[in-house]
Amino acid sequence: MAWKYITQDVIDAGGINVSSAEMFAEAREYNIEAVRNYNKKRRNHWFIAVWAVGQLALSLVIGIFLVVDNQLEQMFHSTTTPTWRILLRLFGFLAYMGAFAYFVIYRRDPRPHVMALSTMPILIADWKFIGIVAFNFLVGWLHEKVENELKTKSDYPKFARLTVTTSYSDSDTIEELTFDSIRDKARREHPDDELLK
Protein backbone atom coordinates (compact mmCIF):
# COMPACT_ATOMS: atom_id res chain seq x y z
CA MET A 1 0.00 0.00 0.00
CA ALA A 2 1.28 3.47 -0.83
CA TRP A 3 1.40 5.78 2.17
CA LYS A 4 0.91 9.53 1.88
CA TYR A 5 2.28 10.62 5.27
CA ILE A 6 4.27 7.61 6.41
CA THR A 7 7.74 7.75 4.89
CA GLN A 8 10.79 5.62 5.56
CA ASP A 9 12.05 8.33 7.96
CA VAL A 10 8.83 8.07 9.97
CA ILE A 11 9.13 4.25 10.07
CA ASP A 12 12.80 4.50 11.13
CA ALA A 13 11.87 7.01 13.86
CA GLY A 14 9.19 4.63 15.15
CA GLY A 15 6.52 7.29 15.58
CA ILE A 16 4.47 9.96 13.89
CA ASN A 17 3.11 13.24 15.22
CA VAL A 18 -0.32 13.59 13.64
CA SER A 19 -1.86 16.94 12.87
CA SER A 20 -5.02 15.91 11.03
CA ALA A 21 -7.68 13.23 11.01
CA GLU A 22 -6.31 11.98 7.67
CA MET A 23 -2.83 11.49 9.15
CA PHE A 24 -4.32 9.72 12.17
CA ALA A 25 -6.38 7.39 9.97
CA GLU A 26 -3.31 6.53 7.88
CA ALA A 27 -1.17 5.90 10.98
CA ARG A 28 -3.91 3.68 12.39
CA GLU A 29 -4.16 1.75 9.11
CA TYR A 30 -0.37 1.37 9.01
CA ASN A 31 -0.34 -0.05 12.55
CA ILE A 32 -3.15 -2.49 11.74
CA GLU A 33 -1.26 -3.69 8.65
CA ALA A 34 2.01 -3.95 10.62
CA VAL A 35 0.33 -6.21 13.20
CA ARG A 36 -1.25 -8.37 10.46
CA ASN A 37 2.07 -8.75 8.65
CA TYR A 38 3.95 -9.53 11.87
CA ASN A 39 1.40 -12.20 12.81
CA LYS A 40 1.54 -13.69 9.31
CA LYS A 41 5.34 -13.82 9.50
CA ARG A 42 5.23 -15.51 12.93
CA ARG A 43 2.66 -18.08 11.74
CA ASN A 44 4.82 -18.82 8.70
CA HIS A 45 7.89 -19.42 10.87
CA TRP A 46 5.95 -21.53 13.38
CA PHE A 47 4.53 -23.64 10.55
CA ILE A 48 8.00 -24.45 9.24
CA ALA A 49 9.31 -25.14 12.77
CA VAL A 50 6.44 -27.46 13.69
CA TRP A 51 6.73 -29.31 10.38
CA ALA A 52 10.52 -29.68 10.73
CA VAL A 53 10.31 -31.28 14.16
CA GLY A 54 7.08 -33.17 13.44
CA GLN A 55 8.50 -34.60 10.24
CA LEU A 56 11.46 -36.13 12.06
CA ALA A 57 9.11 -37.79 14.55
CA LEU A 58 6.77 -38.89 11.75
CA SER A 59 9.56 -40.44 9.70
CA LEU A 60 10.82 -42.29 12.79
CA VAL A 61 7.34 -43.73 13.44
CA ILE A 62 6.94 -44.71 9.77
CA GLY A 63 10.42 -46.27 9.85
CA ILE A 64 9.50 -48.38 12.89
CA PHE A 65 6.31 -49.58 11.18
CA LEU A 66 8.26 -50.48 8.02
CA VAL A 67 10.85 -52.45 10.04
CA VAL A 68 8.12 -54.33 11.94
CA ASP A 69 6.28 -55.07 8.68
CA ASN A 70 9.52 -56.30 7.08
CA GLN A 71 10.29 -58.52 10.07
CA LEU A 72 6.80 -60.06 10.04
CA GLU A 73 7.04 -60.68 6.29
CA GLN A 74 10.42 -62.35 6.69
CA MET A 75 9.14 -64.46 9.57
CA PHE A 76 6.24 -65.78 7.49
CA HIS A 77 8.41 -66.45 4.42
CA SER A 78 11.47 -67.71 6.32
CA THR A 79 13.81 -65.19 4.69
CA THR A 80 16.40 -62.77 6.03
CA THR A 81 17.73 -59.41 4.98
CA PRO A 82 21.47 -59.23 4.35
CA THR A 83 23.42 -57.21 6.89
CA TRP A 84 24.75 -54.84 4.23
CA ARG A 85 21.17 -53.86 3.27
CA ILE A 86 20.24 -53.22 6.88
CA LEU A 87 23.35 -51.04 7.34
CA LEU A 88 22.70 -49.19 4.06
CA ARG A 89 19.12 -48.42 5.09
CA LEU A 90 20.25 -47.30 8.53
CA PHE A 91 22.89 -45.07 6.92
CA GLY A 92 20.26 -43.52 4.60
CA PHE A 93 17.92 -42.82 7.51
CA LEU A 94 20.66 -41.31 9.69
CA ALA A 95 22.04 -39.28 6.75
CA TYR A 96 18.55 -37.86 6.17
CA MET A 97 18.14 -36.92 9.83
CA GLY A 98 21.60 -35.36 9.99
CA ALA A 99 21.29 -33.41 6.73
CA PHE A 100 17.80 -32.16 7.53
CA ALA A 101 18.73 -31.17 11.08
CA TYR A 102 21.84 -29.32 9.88
CA PHE A 103 20.54 -27.51 6.82
CA VAL A 104 16.91 -26.82 7.73
CA ILE A 105 16.85 -26.68 11.54
CA TYR A 106 20.35 -25.50 12.49
CA ARG A 107 21.13 -23.27 9.47
CA ARG A 108 17.45 -22.24 9.16
CA ASP A 109 17.34 -22.59 5.41
CA PRO A 110 13.77 -23.58 4.48
CA ARG A 111 14.07 -23.04 0.73
CA PRO A 112 12.17 -25.74 -1.17
CA HIS A 113 15.15 -27.30 -2.94
CA VAL A 114 17.21 -27.36 0.28
CA MET A 115 14.39 -29.05 2.17
CA ALA A 116 13.84 -31.61 -0.58
CA LEU A 117 17.54 -32.37 -1.19
CA SER A 118 18.32 -32.72 2.52
CA THR A 119 15.49 -35.26 2.72
CA MET A 120 16.64 -37.33 -0.29
CA PRO A 121 18.92 -39.72 1.67
CA ILE A 122 15.82 -41.21 3.31
CA LEU A 123 15.01 -42.82 -0.06
CA ILE A 124 18.03 -45.06 0.50
CA ALA A 125 16.20 -46.46 3.52
CA ASP A 126 12.96 -47.07 1.61
CA TRP A 127 11.30 -45.62 -1.48
CA LYS A 128 8.02 -45.39 0.49
CA PHE A 129 9.38 -42.20 2.09
CA ILE A 130 8.96 -40.34 -1.23
CA GLY A 131 5.93 -38.57 0.25
CA ILE A 132 8.11 -36.86 2.86
CA VAL A 133 10.48 -35.60 0.16
CA ALA A 134 7.59 -34.25 -1.93
CA PHE A 135 5.85 -32.71 1.08
CA ASN A 136 9.10 -31.04 2.15
CA PHE A 137 9.35 -29.37 -1.24
CA LEU A 138 5.72 -28.23 -0.98
CA VAL A 139 6.17 -26.86 2.57
CA GLY A 140 9.34 -25.02 1.53
CA TRP A 141 7.59 -23.56 -1.50
CA LEU A 142 4.64 -22.33 0.58
CA HIS A 143 7.00 -20.82 3.17
CA GLU A 144 9.02 -19.04 0.49
CA LYS A 145 5.87 -17.75 -1.23
CA VAL A 146 4.58 -16.14 1.99
CA GLU A 147 8.03 -14.75 2.82
CA ASN A 148 8.42 -13.19 -0.65
CA GLU A 149 4.99 -11.60 -0.31
CA LEU A 150 5.94 -10.12 3.08
CA LYS A 151 9.23 -8.73 1.70
CA THR A 152 7.25 -6.24 -0.38
CA LYS A 153 5.61 -4.74 2.72
CA SER A 154 6.80 -1.67 4.63
CA ASP A 155 9.25 -2.27 7.51
CA TYR A 156 10.06 -5.91 6.63
CA PRO A 157 11.10 -7.95 8.67
CA LYS A 158 10.36 -6.08 11.93
CA PHE A 159 6.84 -4.82 11.22
CA ALA A 160 7.02 -2.52 14.25
CA ARG A 161 4.00 -0.38 15.07
CA LEU A 162 4.31 3.38 15.05
CA THR A 163 3.82 5.44 18.18
CA VAL A 164 1.17 8.01 17.33
CA THR A 165 1.49 11.36 19.11
CA THR A 166 0.19 14.87 18.70
CA SER A 167 1.24 18.19 20.12
CA TYR A 168 -2.36 19.44 19.89
CA SER A 169 -4.27 16.98 22.06
CA ASP A 170 -4.93 16.15 25.72
CA SER A 171 -5.17 12.45 24.87
CA ASP A 172 -2.95 10.10 26.85
CA THR A 173 -3.51 6.98 24.76
CA ILE A 174 -4.11 6.23 21.11
CA GLU A 175 -7.63 5.02 21.95
CA GLU A 176 -8.52 8.50 23.29
CA LEU A 177 -7.02 10.36 20.34
CA THR A 178 -9.65 11.73 17.97
CA PHE A 179 -9.80 14.63 15.60
CA ASP A 180 -12.28 16.31 17.98
CA SER A 181 -9.83 16.11 20.90
CA ILE A 182 -7.15 17.74 18.75
CA ARG A 183 -9.56 20.49 17.64
CA ASP A 184 -10.81 21.12 21.22
CA LYS A 185 -7.29 21.61 22.56
CA ALA A 186 -6.37 23.86 19.63
CA ARG A 187 -9.48 25.98 20.31
CA ARG A 188 -8.52 26.33 24.00
CA GLU A 189 -4.96 27.32 23.13
CA HIS A 190 -5.96 29.69 20.30
CA PRO A 191 -9.38 31.15 21.19
CA ASP A 192 -9.02 34.07 18.75
CA ASP A 193 -8.26 31.95 15.67
CA GLU A 194 -11.12 32.20 13.17
CA LEU A 195 -10.16 28.93 11.40
CA LEU A 196 -10.86 26.86 14.54
CA LYS A 197 -14.42 28.13 15.09
Domain ranges of the chain: 8-37+156-196, 52-151
Residues 85 and 130: their CA atoms lie apart, in Å, by 19
Q: Is the pLDDT of residue 133 over 80?
A: yes
Predicted local confidence at residue 46, as pLDDT:
94
Burial 62-100 (b: 16+ CB within 10 A, else e): bbeeeeeeeeeeeeeeeeeeeeeeeeebeebbebbbebb
What is the rounded average pLDDT for all residues in the chain?
Answer: 84
Residue 90 pLDDT > 70: yes
Residue 157 preceded by cis peptide, ω within 30 = yes
Give the pTM: 0.70
Backbone phi and psi for residue 170, each to the nearest 5 degrees, phi listed first: -90, 0
E strand or H helix that includes residue 185: helix 179-189
Q: What is the pLDDT of residue 165?
A: 76
pLDDT at 174 (0 to 100) = 59
| Distance from C-alpha of 150 to C-alpha of 163, rounded to nearest angstrom | 22
pLDDT at 196 exceeding the cut of 70: no
pLDDT at 137: 95
Q: Which residues, 6+ apart, have CB-to-CB distance to 160 below 8 Å?
A: 11, 14, 34
* pLDDT on residue 157: 80
Q: Which amino acid is at 83?
A: T
